[in-house]
Amino acid sequence: MTDPARAHPPIQPIPRGLLYLTAGLTGGLVMVIEILGARVIGPFFGVSLFVWTALISVTLLSLAGGYATGGWLADRHPRADWLFGLIAAAGGYVLLVPVLKLGVMEFGLAFGLRGGTFVAALILFGPSLFLLGCVSPYLLRLAAADLARLGRTAGVLYAVSTAGSFAGSALTGFYLLGYVGVSNGLRLAGAILVALAVAHFLLARRGAPAAVAAALLLPALAPHGDLPSVRLEDGTEASVVAARDGFYGAVKVIEYRGSRLTTREMIIDGLVQGGMDAADGRPIYEYAYLLSRLPLAVRPEGRSALVVGLGMGAAPRWLARAGIDTEVVEIDPLVLDMARRHFDFPREIPVHIEDARTYLARAGRPFDFILLDVFNGDTTPGYLLSLEALHAVKARLAPGGVLALNLIGGVQGEEAMVPAIVRTLQAVFAGVSLHPAFAPAADAPLAGNFVLLASDGPLAPAARVALDDVHPLAASVRQLAQQPPVAVDTAGALILTDEFNPLDLLDTRYKESVRRHIIETTPHEILLAG
């Protein structure tokens, strides 16, 4: 005969205030972990649709498993001690993520970029999200002493949890990322979960469990270490000079010190945004020269320029020195701070901290040149290259003005990105020309870094391209500047619009090859520093 006490184990009560506090905090921290998770993986695997797909998939899969398991456990062990033990374990695992992330991402590489993104997300965030998924059914079981009020109780708990999710999302996006950073944000999230468990065990006068839960806070209190410095195979020392998490990406300044030369680069989410000779400030990459010099060669009489996307500030700095009245639009204040602190970007050049789309949509002074050099992860944001966005750009150009874009993509193949961009530009401007910032290989598809010019005026150079200050590392730019534009077959290419703009889905293989090159050539400690 079944023992009634075993068939229906007694429920350990939980104070009503702690019940709702637990629902709100755990609901909010699920969103904090999910958002911060994308920023943990992004600098290594890239900020792309695949990263968010992996994080969202892992979150849903883990929560689903947690809901089912939590309900099963709650029926068999309807005790608050079990619930807060799960919460403490979730917090302890979150505290370990900054320590585990390098090894986990390197392990994920064995599954390729897309598979590795999912595997890394699953290992780093699946366990804590699974444990947090157990919380909702557990709370409902502990609160459901009065079956006549079960519906109301469930509704209030889910409302509080959802309100917590809203607060967690808003606080992470608006504050945590910019002011605390990703790793510290994870430490804070883990510490809150552990502290919540400690609070329960102290209220329940259970000293030993409280001590165990408190011990899980030790990883958060441990020293976080200095920024890494790595010696490369050729003897060059690569050092992270600065690393900060901003609202729009992980920004790092890397210095490479060799026997004869010291260079400095800015990277955002692993993608190089510019590099210079630390001694004289000259850019070391070809595209930086072509982007700023080709428009002036086309229209030498131009006297004003707007640079969209600051990076390390090479283009606006050179334009200003050339006597061009130059302004900059940059969405991320952290990029401006890094450019001024570590790349000597002059304070006298005006910088508007604003989204480029909203800035260009407003009426304002016309510019002879507009240089668009914006990247989000491994590609230019699609909303800046739609038909509507380009019409807004044209409205801010003076008659005969020149638009110059820095792009990374492919020219050939069904999924090539450049033909769609060129065709969209052709729907807005009378003339478009494409200039490779690399030496094309005869036996390989044409893909890489391009400078694209568009104008209603002539695009043939009317003056010699100014290249007197080219750095020796970028000496090939002289030959590149003399090459004729590349022909682009736009037959069948899309015109990108705000309504339909699949730019993130174009050139996926090439973008993956770029990210793979970054991972293979950049020390992993540097990619994940901070």
Give the pLDDT confidence of 16-45 residue by residue, as tens digits. Answer: 888 899 999 999 999 999 999 988 998 888
pLDDT at 6 over 60: no
CB of 397 within 8 A of CB of 299? no
* Cα–Cα dist 358/337, whole Å: 22
Query: Is 273 in contact with 285 (CB distance < 8 Å)?
Result: no
Over 70: is that where the pLDDT of 221 sits? no
Q: 141: closest CA among 196, 83, 93, 182?
A: 83
CA 54 to chain CA centroid, Å, is 14
Calpha distance 459→295 (Å, rounded): 8
**What pLDDT, on the 0 to 100 scale, is given for residue 210?**
62
Q: Specify which residues 433 forms β-bridges with.
A: 453
The single-letter code of the amino acid at 161 is S
Q: Distance between CA 234 and CA 228 in Å, rounded?
A: 18
Of 10-14, 277-281, 396-400, which range is least confident?
10-14
CATH number of 11-221: 1.20.1250
Mean pLDDT for the chain overall: 89
Six token digits for residue 362: 């407003």
Q: How far is CA 463 from the centre of its chain?
A: 40
Bridge-based pairing of strands 367-372 and 397-410 is parallel
Mean pLDDT in residue range 197-208: 80
CA distance 353 to 129: 36
Average pLDDT on 379-392 reads 91
Q: What is the pLDDT of residue 322?
A: 94
Please answer whether residues 524 and 177 qualify as being in contact, where contact means their C-beta atoms are separated by less than 8 angstroms. Answer: no
CB < 8 Å & 24+ apart, contacts of 257-266 = 258/234, 259/235, 261/473, 263/473, 264/312, 264/342, 264/343, 265/312, 266/311, 266/312, 266/335, 266/338, 266/339, 266/342, 266/343
pLDDT over threshold 80, residue 277: yes
Give kind and range of the element (H or E) at residue 268: strand 262-268
- CA-derived radius of gyration, the chain: 27
Which tens digits make up the pLDDT trace of 479-509? 999 889 999 999 989 999 999 988 888 888 8
**pLDDT level of residue 4 (50, 70, 90 thresholds):** very low
Max CA pair span of the chain: 99
Contact criterion met (CB below 8 Å) for 21 and 203 = no
* Confidence at residue 1, expressed as pLDDT on a 0 to 100 scale: 45
**Cα separation, 246 vs 39, whole angstroms:** 10
Per-residue pLDDT, 459: 93
- 73 neighbors 130 (Cβ within 8 angstroms): no
Q: Between 518 and 222, where is the model more confident?
A: 518
Return residue ranges of the chain for CATH 3.40.50.150. Answer: 281-527
pLDDT at 227: 80
Kindly give the residue spans of alpha helices, DSSP state H, lying in 150-230: 150-171, 182-203, 207-215, 218-221
- Strand ranges (E), 316-357: 325-330, 351-353
The strands making up 271-277's β-sheet, listed across from edge to edge, are: 229-231, 237-245, 250-257, 262-268, 271-277
Query: Band of the pLDDT at 216, cuts 50, 70, 90?
Result: low
| For range 466-471, the mean pLDDT | 92
What is the rounded distance in angstroms from the CA atom of residue 232 to the CA atom of residue 229? 10
The reported pLDDT for the residue numbered 523 is 85
Highest mean pLDDT among 124-128, 200-204, 482-486: 124-128
pLDDT tens figures, 259-272: 889 999 999 988 88
Once rounded to an integer, what is the mean pLDDT over residues 171-179? 82
Q: Which architecture does CATH list for 281-527?
A: 3-Layer(aba) Sandwich (3.40)
* 91 in Cβ contact with 191 (< 8 Å): yes
3-state secondary structure 384-403: HCCHHHHHHHHHCEEEEEEE
pLDDT bin (cut points 50, 70, 90) of residue 156 is confident
Selection from 45-49, 62-66, 248-252, 266-270 with the highest mean pLDDT: 62-66
Q: In the predicted model, what is the mean pLDDT of residues 310-333?
A: 96
pLDDT number for residue 220: 63
Give pLDDT, residue 527.
84
- How many other CB atoms are found less than 10 A from the CB of residue 179? 12
Mean local confidence (pLDDT), 336-344: 96
With CA atoms as reference, report the closest residue to 57 among 120, 135, 137, 132: 120
> If you average pLDDT over each of 149-158, 267-276, 374-383, 401-410, which comes out highest?
401-410
Residue (of 117, 17, 173, 138) closest to 66 by Cα position: 138
Q: Are 454 and 431 in contact (CB under 8 A)?
A: yes
Per-residue pLDDT at 217: 66
